[in-house]
Amino acid sequence: MIRQVKQPGLRLIPLGGLGEVGRNMTLLEAEGKILIMDMGFRMPEEDMPGIDYIVPNISCLKGKSKNIVGVVFTHGHYDHIGAVPYLLPKIWHPGLQMYASPLTKGIIIKRQEDFTDQPPLNINEIGDGSKIKLGPFEVEFFKQNHNIPDNFGLFVQTPVGNIVNTSDFKFDSTPVNDLPTNFQKLEEFGKRKVLLLMCDSTGAEEENHSLSEKDIEKNLDEILAKASGRVFAATFASLINRIQQIVTLSEKYGRRVCLEGYSMKTNVELCRALGYIKAKKGTFIASKDALRLPDNKVTVLCTGAQGEGSAVLMRIALREHPVFRLKKGDDVILSSSVIPGNERTVQVLKDSILRQGVRVFHYKMMDIHAGGHAQQDELKEMIKLMNPQFFLPIHGQYSMLAANKDLAGDMGITEERVYVGENGDVINITSKGFSVEKDKVPSNYVMVDGLGIGDVGEVVLRDRQMLAKDGMFVVVVVVDKQTGRVKGSPDIISRGFVYLRESKDLLRETRKRVIGIINHATMAGGAVNWSYLKDEVRNKVGQFLFTKTQRRPIVIPVVIEV
Amino acid sequence: MIRQVKQPGLRLIPLGGLGEVGRNMTLLEAEGKILIMDMGFRMPEEDMPGIDYIVPNISCLKGKSKNIVGVVFTHGHYDHIGAVPYLLPKIWHPGLQMYASPLTKGIIIKRQEDFTDQPPLNINEIGDGSKIKLGPFEVEFFKQNHNIPDNFGLFVQTPVGNIVNTSDFKFDSTPVNDLPTNFQKLEEFGKRKVLLLMCDSTGAEEENHSLSEKDIEKNLDEILAKASGRVFAATFASLINRIQQIVTLSEKYGRRVCLEGYSMKTNVELCRALGYIKAKKGTFIASKDALRLPDNKVTVLCTGAQGEGSAVLMRIALREHPVFRLKKGDDVILSSSVIPGNERTVQVLKDSILRQGVRVFHYKMMDIHAGGHAQQDELKEMIKLMNPQFFLPIHGQYSMLAANKDLAGDMGITEERVYVGENGDVINITSKGFSVEKDKVPSNYVMVDGLGIGDVGEVVLRDRQMLAKDGMFVVVVVVDKQTGRVKGSPDIISRGFVYLRESKDLLRETRKRVIGIINHATMAGGAVNWSYLKDEVRNKVGQFLFTKTQRRPIVIPVVIEV
């Protein structure tokens, strides 16, 4: 399947985004120079408690910072820009140039304000058709439709041939606040000969064509047309196009719009300042002013469509919001699909709202959320337009990458011209073929937890999982240095295991056993192997607690000699 | 909406299953006698680490055991029978009679074997049309289609009128191993006048009619007809009808069937013994014997379609299974819908299989899983057939109950005749109306964790959640009783917080602060308020660690005076 090619050429290294959703980052290396495409993070898995984000592992760049000629960003979603504050300090040097569209730049710089220890960033603005030369690479940016404005695909001329990176995209002939897909331009790229197509795979398992934003607008319009009370519309703060739609429709029906949620407010503010969200004067009002308006003149645009506990909509649903209380006659719109893993919290959210006699509209009932990603028909169209020599599915779970490979197969791209890769692969590309090196670069998770980047690893995570499951059990024993015998009664400290107050017998018996183990071991006199003895206490207490409760708390013996 | 009715009558108390999926249990009380319908458990939420199951809260039955005339079971799924071993010991008395179909009885008794401290159960067998008299209640069992055989609805004559409990059901004119729905019988019940219809709501948000098992069989047949290698078919061990289908189709294509997974093996064994799964002689073979057969003569029927870490299919996918290794040409069928919350593990499972070049068929690609629950058309039909005076949606999330209420509305059941209830409601019913008492009975979660039933409560759970998020941090300080000063250096024990080895500065600084706090407080001499001082250490250390790491481990100070 993989042709062995020996000539020197181009190295492509995906550091994230393959076999996962998010954490998109890819390196291109030629003539000793490195170009970085995107720097995203991803959200942690459910079994990673306490972790905030996962960022790409850039240890393969150690000592090579000077070779990095630039970082280019496709668009302003966090899975493409979110790792900047965590990674950039490690690779930054004065020759490193960054390029992004005005909106993407605005979002990166706004976020950077949260990281007060970092200097402000200098980012070069690009637009449709911009061409930049970065070492051996020439990058041309081309507009692609998505659910955020100012999204760009990359046409990269390299010493071995042209590479197209589609960025996240969909084909939309009736987009919001944006021009329709420019198929002529795409055709032109195809004619210039594409050596490698790196293609978004997120929608590769979905049949047909993605919905146009226009269709969504029609459905949202229907809800707003009928609404006789307030409308609470929740979506992601990053879905700028959806936000625009709700603003426009509110204006159509004479509604003022209140913004609720920190990220919603800052994003709308930024987008309005840059002209990416358009609204009439007076459309936006403060929430407290909404209380003086008739209900059918108010739209509340807020975060929390995923049922996040701390986000606005959940606080409104739980009647904990400082301004808004739901009442019969209100309508709630959840205008985002449910992210895998959030099904239960969304259900809780829906139920809390329904219990108050309020109607809930969600994407399962009608199309009020369009994915931002090309589906099977569009992906095939893209492959046809680009007619690449080689095909590399990017962005998505392995099943999505594999589905995209099948689509390429349908379009005549034979199996040996496709590579379904993994993060950390080192792919050597020449004009004639590609090969994958036997050794991968490190691509394992780098976890962000609070201020720590990468300091929480497998061991700490496993401890957290164990602590979560059965809690902890600390036994503190004071031992007389002279006699080796336990002084007094051992202290027991436990959390997350049992109610201590209701488990007095269990604790009494545990203490007795601990005293027995230690006194027995020290009885003979002579040197005591405390490390061994602690293990003994740990094992025997653990076993005893398991027999009595079928639970396995982390048992920690502390021995103090006095 | 709720009519106030004063006459003495019937009390209906749902103890579980309203506003949740699972934990189904309802009490009927009349003339001082209590009838229990089902005793199920449910699975814990994602934020309940370590919890095995949640069972109904039966504290309202305290002191009333003698009044319980019987327990009737509708079918053998754990959300209807799973709480038996946890609750029955608390209410059992010699006069308490239990009734179940042969298969349901078999499953209950088989499970009871795992609880060696409990005596064997005596359960009376019932069949279609069985009538039993239990105090003031006469219960008639009627066959209902579901995805397990031997499922019965209940027609209960009470002193105030007839109550119908549909059990989980769907209408299926071409079921597997079962008779089609007997509409004549249902019509007849309707003619006898139904005062209250308690109706399954699980499918109330789904449009149209549920798929017949026959349609599923057609799709499964297509896969098996084309399969040229081994087929690994994963489903729930409780989906007896699906198991039968895969066995029958395997026989059709000359395949032998290996059973893998403890619950799969025991369920199939039980069902074969009772005649609920039919197979030719020689169809089932031991897994090791499969290795001697051509690949296209082998079906492996196993558990693990939800990506459960310890179940068979995941072990096969991860190449950890003692007998089977996947290889190109094999097909894997995931024949169950994804339970909310399991999306990510199913994705991991799918990806692990696809990486080995093996095809995966799942319900999103084609209909190879039918839900067991009536959808909107069937629910409307049921309401029409029963034409009840009052309607109580049961079984399901609040949104499902509310959707079922809307369906009843469509069928002419006006709002005041419907009650969307909550667990713990005490509903008084007479022939004229119903009212809900102001005070509810306790219905909060009773959690099963290992051997403990109800001993893990909010506090322990919250500790577990905190431990999971940021770990724990124990500081052990030895203080000289005479001088009040800290002796030596405090011991620090931490798990799930940071790598201690890489955080030496942090620990050194923490120790210094702890010594400072204690020595400062004891410097003045006189009585020391140790409880206050411990709080001080907890707060200051917690604050310090947060400043340095933005994490909040549980801080536990231990002070030992010597």
Q: Which of A467, A473, A500, A504 to mutate to test binding with chain B, by most B CBs within 10 Å of its CB?
A: A467
Dist. CA A364–CA A355, nearest whole Å: 19
- Catalytic, A373? Answer yes
Closest-CA residue to B230 (of B359, B101, B49): B359
Nearest CA in chain B to A361: B399
User: What pLDDT, in 10s, does the model give residues B500-544?
Assistant: 778 899 999 999 999 999 998 888 777 778 889 999 999 999 999
Nearest CA in chain B to A420: B355
Tell me whether residues A467 and B467 touch, CB distance under 8 A: yes
Q: Does the pLDDT value for residue B367 go beyond 70?
A: no
SS3 B233: strand
Q: Does the pLDDT value for residue A3 go beyond 60?
A: no
Tokens, residue A189: 């790229």
Residue type, A90: K
User: What pLDDT, in 10s, does the model give residues A433-448?
Assistant: 999 999 999 999 999 9
What is the pLDDT averaged over residues B221-247?
Answer: 94
Cβ atoms of B13 and B441 closer than 8 Å:
yes
- What strands lie across the sheet with A256-260, from one edge to the other? A256-260, A298-302, A231-234, A331-334, A359-362
Q: Give the H or E element holding residue A535.
A: helix A530-549
Q: Give the H or E element holding residue B142.
A: strand B137-143
What is the pLDDT averaged over residues B193-222?
Answer: 92
Q: What are phi and psi of B533, to 5 degrees?
A: -65, -35
Dist. CA B454–CA B56, nearest whole Å: 10
Q: Does the pLDDT value for residue B3 go beyond 70?
A: no
Give the closest of B49, B351, B460 to A498, CB-based: B460
Q: What are phi and psi of B278, to 5 degrees?
A: -110, 130
Tell me whether residues B560 and A341 touch, CB distance under 8 A: no
Dist. CA B233–CA B361, nearest whole Å: 9
Dist. CA B138–CA B69, nearest whole Å: 11
In this structure, of A111-125, A266-280, B3-17, the range with the lowest mean pLDDT score is B3-17
SS3 B125: strand
Residue type, A80: H
Question: Helices in B311-427 by DSSP H: which ranges?
Answer: 312-317, 343-354, 376-386, 398-410
- In angstroms, the Cα distances linking A300 to A227, A258, A288 are 13, 5, 11
Q: Does the pLDDT value for residue B17 go beyond 90?
A: yes
Tokens, residue A259: 């913004």
Tell me whether residues B45 and A344 touch, CB distance under 8 A: yes
Mean pLDDT of chain B: 93
In this structure, of A493-497, B6-10, B79-83, the range with the lowest mean pLDDT score is B6-10
Q: Does the pLDDT value for residue A235 go beyond 70?
A: yes
- Res A366: pLDDT: 58
Q: How many CB pairs below 8 Å do chains A and B form together?
A: 187
pTM of the model: 0.90
Q: Does the pLDDT value for residue A370 go beyond 70?
A: no
Q: Does the pLDDT value for residue A68 go beyond 60?
A: yes
Question: Which chain A residues are within 8 Å of B498, Cβ to Cβ?
Answer: 452, 455-456, 460
Dist. CA A212–CA B391, nearest whole Å: 42
Question: Which chain A residues are within 8 Å of B469, Cβ to Cβ?
Answer: 49-50, 464
B14 bridge partner residues: B26
Q: What are phi and psi of B447, to 5 degrees?
A: -100, 140
Tokens, residue A301: 């645009």
Dist. CA A533–CA A484, nearest whole Å: 12
Q: Which of A207, A415, A495 to mutate to test binding with chain B, by most B CBs within 10 Å of its CB?
A: A495
Buried b (16+ CB within 10 A) or exposed e, A157-179: bbebbbbbbbbbbbbbeebbbbe
Tell me whether residues A551 and B502 touch, CB distance under 8 A: no
Q: Please provide the DSSP assignment of A473-498 as one string.
A: EEEEEEE-TTT-PEEEEEEEEEESS-
- Res A460: pLDDT: 92
Tell me whether residues B464 and A496 touch, CB distance under 8 A: yes
- Tokens 């099977």 correspond to A376
Question: Which chain B residues are within 8 Å of A405, Cβ to Cβ?
Answer: none
- Tokens 């197509």 correspond to A197
Taking the alpha carbons at both ends of chain B, their separation in whole angstroms is: 69
Tokens, residue A108: 């990166």
Parallel, antiparallel or unpaired: strands B161-165 and B196-200: parallel
Residue type, B331: D
If you ran DSSP here, which 8-state letter would residue B42 be given?
B
Residue B296 CB partners (closer than 8 Å, separation 6+): B227, B228, B229, B230, B253, B255
Percent of chain A at pLDDT above 90? Answer: 80
- Tokens 């979603």 correspond to A77
- Res A369: pLDDT: 62
- Tokens 């003895």 correspond to A533
- Res B366: pLDDT: 59
Tokens, residue A144: 């692609």
Question: Which chain A residues are within 8 Å of B398, Cβ to Cβ?
Answer: 350-351, 354-355
Tell me whether residues B469 and A49 touch, CB distance under 8 A: yes
- What strands lie across the sheet with B161-165, from one edge to the other? B131-134, B137-143, B152-158, B161-165, B196-200, B390-394
- Res A367: pLDDT: 59
Dist. CA A515–CA A476, nearest whole Å: 11
Looking at CA atoms only, how far is residue B152 from chain A in angstroms?
Answer: 29
Closest-CA residue to A209 (of A25, A381, A38): A381
Looking at CA atoms only, how far is residue B18 from chain A in angstroms?
Answer: 11
Looking at CA atoms only, how far is residue A41 from chain B in angstroms?
Answer: 18
Q: How many CB atoms lie within 10 A of CB A136?
A: 18
In this structure, of A2-11, A419-428, B205-214, the range with the lowest mean pLDDT score is A2-11
Displacement of CA A345 from its chain's centroid (Å): 18
Q: Which domains does chain A have, with CATH numbers?
A: 10-208+371-456 (3.60.15.10), 213-362 (3.40.50.10710), 471-561 (3.10.20.580)
Catalytic position from the list B80, B321, B373, B395: B373
Tell me whether residues A498 and B49 touch, CB distance under 8 A: no
User: What pLDDT, in 10s, does the model give residues A249-304?
Assistant: 999 999 999 999 999 999 999 999 999 999 999 999 999 999 999 999 999 999 99
Q: What are phi and psi of A357, to 5 degrees?
A: 75, 20
List, in sequence order, every beta strand (DSSP E) within B348-389: 359-362
Dist. CA B35–CA A527, nearest whole Å: 67
Closest-CA residue to A78 (of A465, A463, A339): A339
Dist. CA A454–CA A447, nearest whole Å: 5
- Res B1: pLDDT: 41
Q: Does the pLDDT value for residue B489 go beyond 60?
A: yes
Tell me whether residues B549 and A451 touch, CB distance under 8 A: yes
Q: How many CB atoms lie within 10 A of CB A27?
A: 21
Question: Which chain B residues are within 8 Å of A490, Cβ to Cβ?
Answer: none
Tokens, residue B526: 């006189």
Tell me whether residues B344 and A464 touch, CB distance under 8 A: no
Catalytic position from the list B150, B200, B331, B425: B200
What is the pLDDT averaged over residues A325-334?
Answer: 96
**pLDDT top residue among A213 and A16:** A16
Q: Please provide the DSSP assignment of A291-322 as one string.
A: TTS-GGGEEEEES-TT--TTSHHHHHHTT--S
Cβ atoms of B207 and B375 closer than 8 Å:
yes
Catalytic position from the list A150, A168, A172, A200: A200
User: What pLDDT, in 10s, does the model give residues B301-350?
Assistant: 999 988 888 889 999 999 999 999 999 999 999 988 777 778 888 999 99
Parallel, antiparallel or unpaired: strands A97-100 and B486-495: unpaired
Question: Which chain A residues are within 8 Å of B409, Cβ to Cβ?
Answer: none
Question: Which chain A residues are within 8 Å of B497, Cβ to Cβ?
Answer: 460
What is the pLDDT averaged over residues B343-362?
Answer: 92
- Res B4: pLDDT: 44
Assign A6 a pLDDT band (cuts: 50, 70, 90). Answer: very low
List, in sequence order, every beta strand (DSSP E) within B315-436: 331-334, 359-362, 390-394, 427-429, 434-436
User: What pLDDT, in 10s, does the model give residues A378-400?
Assistant: 999 999 999 999 999 999 999 99
Residue type, A474: V
What is the pLDDT averaged over residues A411-424?
Answer: 96
Dist. CA B316–CA B303, nearest whole Å: 11
Tokens, residue B241: 């009808």
Looking at CA atoms only, how far is residue A377 from chain B in angstroms?
Answer: 16
Percent of chain B at pLDDT above 90? Answer: 80
Tell me whether residues A468 and B50 touch, CB distance under 8 A: yes
Tokens, residue A286: 């403060």
In this structure, of A14-18, A317-321, B173-177, the range with the lowest mean pLDDT score is B173-177
Tell me whether residues A463 and B360 touch, CB distance under 8 A: no
Mean pLDDT of chain A: 92
- Res B370: pLDDT: 62
Dist. CA A506–CA B536, nearest whole Å: 30
List, in sequence order, every beta strand (DSSP E) within A168-287: 196-200, 231-234, 256-260
Give the closest of B452, B459, B558 to A491, CB-based: B558
Q: Does the pLDDT value for residue B175 go beyond 90?
A: no
If you ran DSSP here, which 8-state letter would residue B20 be given?
B
Give the closest of A340, A495, A549 to B467, CB-based: A495
Nearest CA in chain B to A207: B365
SS3 A557: strand
Tell me whether residues A558 and B364 touch, CB distance under 8 A: no
Catalytic position from the list A146, A321, A369, A373: A373
Question: Which chain A residues are within 8 Å of B42, Cβ to Cβ?
Answer: none
Q: Does the pLDDT value for residue A141 go beyond 50?
A: yes
Looking at CA atoms only, how far is residue B196 from chain A in angstroms?
Answer: 22
Question: Which chain A residues are within 8 Å of B363, Cβ to Cβ?
Answer: none
Overall residue count recorded for chain B in this entry: 562
Tokens, residue A517: 């183990």
Tell me whether residues B503 and A402 touch, CB distance under 8 A: no
B139 bridge partner residues: B132, B156
What is the pLDDT averaged over residues B46-62?
Answer: 93
